[in-house]
A and B are shown apart, each in its own frame.
Chain A
Amino acid sequence: DAGITQSPRHKVTETGTPVTLRCHQTENHRYMYWYRQDPGHGLRLIHYSYGVKDTDKGEVSDGYSVSRSKTEDFLLTLESATSSQTSVYFCAISEANTIYFGEGSWLTVV
């Protein structure tokens, strides 16, 4: 257990609405990540953070923004959700050169 909590765990939203997913960690890890998981694509990195207010883009960052105002929280925002953003979103932290994942947030955009 890497002390990662994701919220909400499940959400259904309408196309065009903003959505924010929250990742909370309790162990003061410097690196935090947001991945999405889709059939046939495995896990793909959206954005990551290497410290408070320090973030960078991953492989599939278009349509997403992130913020990290506190060490323990890393927020993923979909400014205007689209159906292609229906996916499972995983937050992760890095420790000892390996990555540990949260339990996931299931997002459906209708």
Chain B
Amino acid sequence: GQQLNQSPQSMFIQEGEDVSMNCTSSSIFNTWLWYKQDPGEGPVLLIALYKAGELTSNGRLTAQFGITRKDSFLNISASIPSDVGIYFCAGPPLTGANNLFFGTGTRLTVIP
């Protein structure tokens, strides 16, 4: 399947700090999705991006669809303890098959 590389793999930050993470691919995507997974739960959709260059916000979260269509970025402002979890990027293949490829995740720890 298509490889989605996320970085960093893990982050330890102080409460109140801003967070940036990214996702890159060797091939282009038409849609980028960002999910968050809490321990013991399934991934929950945070933001969906459908157009190159698009910048979309959801509360303190902002995500961007890279203009090359091979990357996407997620920023979290003023982190709080409940931001702890694993963040995944995902995207559907260009073949149109109705499934997703996932990155390996960025594990975020927020230190109070």
Contacts and interface: CB of A to CB of B under 8 A. Distances in A.
Given A31-B98, A33-B99, A42 B42 contact: no
A74 interface: no
Given A101-B44, A102-B42, A42 B105 contact: yes
Interface residues of B, number: 23
Interface of B: 1, 4, 31, 33, 35, 40-45, 48, 50, 88, 90, 92, 98-100, 102-105
Given A41-B104, A42-B88, A48 B99 contact: yes
Interface residues on A, range: 20 to 34
Contacts of B31: 97
Contacts of B4: 42
Contact of B100 (A40, A41, A50, A99): A99
B99 A43 contact: no
A103 interface: yes
Contact of A50 (B45, B90, B98): B98
Given A42-B105, A59-B1, A97 B41 contact: no
A40 B100 CA distance: 17
Q: Which of B33, B40, B100 has the most CB of A within 10 A?
A: B100
Interface in A32-84: 33, 40-45, 48, 50, 58-59
Given A90-B43, A104-B40, 13 more contacts: A41-B104, A42-B88, A43-B43, A43-B88, A43-B90, A44-B1, A44-B102, A90-B42, A92-B42, A97-B92, A98-B48, A99-B90, A103-B41
